[in-house]
Every structure is written in C-alpha cells, then in structure tokens.
Amino acid sequence: MRTRSLLALAGTVTALTLAAAVPASADGSAVLTTGSAGGTAAAVGDTLTAPLASGTTATLYSSATGTSGVTCTSSQFTAAVTGNPTAPGTATESVTGHTFASSSCTSNVTGVLGVGGITVDNLPYTATVASDGTLTVTPASGSTIQTTVKLRTLLGTITCVYQAPSLTGKADNSDSSITFTNQQFTKSSGSSLCFANGYFTAKYAPVTDAGARVYVN
C-alpha cells in the first residue's frame, strides 16, 4: 500500500522534526546541533529524519482518554533545516514528509476490517523548534494540517479526512526524541464510521542529521 505523509492524523503530521525537552543551553551554540548538546550546528538545508521510537506506536484515537481508533507501528518524518540561529532562540524547518506504512496499521473501530492507508496532505508544513524544546507545526497560510485515512469495511473502503490548525510537540535531548501527545484533529469529511475527532499521539526517535543525533540548545 502506498503511504505518503500523514497526520498525523496529521500526522500528523505530519511529519514534523527535532529533538530536546530540557535542553542544555550552551552559550554561543546554535539552537540545533549534532553529535551533542552544544556540538556542531546543523546547517541550513540539512535533512532531518526520525522513525517511531523503538517499541512505540503512533495512534489516532477517537478520544483523548480512549483506545479506539487506528494504531501504526511504522512511521517516519522528514524535515529540512531552514533557519538555525544562536541559542537561545528558535530554529525553523520545512516538514516535507510524514509517512505511515499502511501494512503496519490496524483499527479496532467497530465495523472496520483494516486500514487501507494514511496520508498526510498539504505538505510542506513549517516547524519551529524553540530552545525550551517546544516544537510547533503549522500549515502554509490559508491551508490546514490534514490527514486522510482510508478504512476497509464490509461495505467497501471509506475515506476519513481530518484537519487541525497546528500541532505541538516536545523535544527531549535524553534520547533525541520528539513527542506528540493527544493532538486533536476534527473530521472534515467521511462516513458515520469515521470518528468525529482524532487524537494523535506518537514519539519519534532518534532525530538524526546524516546519521548524527540532533540536540536542542
């Protein structure tokens, strides 16, 4: 199954970007560094990638406290560094990809037999990463963060479209991770089998730049 960028569920989104929650602000260092906190500055144009943290899943549940919805065990985001000032400050990125492997996704929603695919739409998104580890993902002006989920049912495949104005995550230098917790999407179209709201949770780690871990300062 072809899987592009998502939602994170939207992925999502998508797809997304760097690392650190309790950053070790090093005077004179860039906000994003590789190898260590206060290490080599990530260059503008560098590509950052991260898979799901080992042993974790990405979920899009129908409520913030429930367990009904869609679960995926394979997902990845890709982002390009567009600005990396001296710390403390705010780095910027362009989120160009956020994918979910449909073969790794399952659903426990009543009436749903399987997941046909999850796609993060309207890319690229803009991401900002502050020295305190706060990550914010926003769409282009006039657009929205959007994830399209295809679900297989006894009556055929249905398409559920979810949207969010922005996503907020947290970076953590201890494992070069980015975590999204219960980021709310609202259904913009789809059948009654599509839940009205989707709450996206996922942890991506490690965030790397050409194989080197990325840190936030």
Q: What is the pLDDT of residues 56-104, one digit of tens each?
A: 999 999 999 999 999 999 999 999 999 999 999 999 999 999 999 999 9
Decide if pLDDT at 8 tops 80.
no
**What is the structure's pLDDT at 15?**
36
Q: What is the mean pLDDT of residues 165-192?
A: 97
Q: For residue 169, give Cα distances in angstroms to 21, 28, 76, 136, 200.
A: 10, 25, 15, 6, 11
Model pLDDT for residues 113-133, shown as the tens digit of each residue: 999 999 999 999 999 999 999
27 confidence band (pLDDT: 50, 70, 90): low
More confident residue, 172 or 14: 172
- Look up the pTM and report it: 0.87
Q: What is the mean pLDDT of residues 158-178?
A: 98
